Amino acid sequence: MVEQQKQKPEIPYLTRIQVLGAMGATAIILLIVAKLWLYFGNFSLFSWKLNQRELLLGVGLGFVITALSGLAYRLWTAYRKSADYYLEVVLKPLALPDLIWLGLLPGLSEELLFRGVILPALGSDHLAVIVSSLCFGVLHFSGSQQWPYVIWATIVGMILAYSALITGNLLVPIVAHIVTNWISSYLWKMWQLSAIKS
């Protein structure tokens, strides 16, 4: 029993304002880094064109990533523990309407930096996909026992990067990221609320 308590990471309890503030600050920092990299770099930003086909492709990809994440959650115990910790820290203090920001802020800022800027800056090839995805995964690191979550975020980063490369449209990973965050956070919140009621 004592051994289990030592292995379980202590969850830092944040307030709703702290979580929303951290999301907003992170989004602003990522946007500034992206703008600076674009300003000093010698490459073009991945374009994003609004069209129905690629909008639907992004929505579909978001559902696929969410389903894969659910599968990983059920089958991979270390990932489940890591995801529960991460989601407990980030989602527990938030109200349901706050989930809109949880989708939009990271979906826009992270995709602009990792798929819009870093991917083309590194050459838009397989190595660029790996490096940008590793950077994306590390962004989700929140403690020494969170490596399974980092690994999963890296895999998702690769899926999103290839969606940008294949379509040539940054809209696809942006929409997929937003949809994934919305669906998975909503399902987690509903699961938590039902657990509290029963």
State residue 123's pLDDT score.
94
pLDDT digit string, tens, across residues 3-45: 444 455 566 678 899 999 999 999 999 999 999 998 898 888 8
Give the span between the Cα atoms of 162 and 173, in whole angstroms: 9
Global confidence as pTM: 0.89
Helical packing angle, 52-75 and 77-91, nearest 10°: 120
What is the per-residue pLDDT across 161-179, written as a single tens digit (0 to 9) for each? 999 999 999 999 999 999 9
Residue 60 tokens, joined: 């579909």
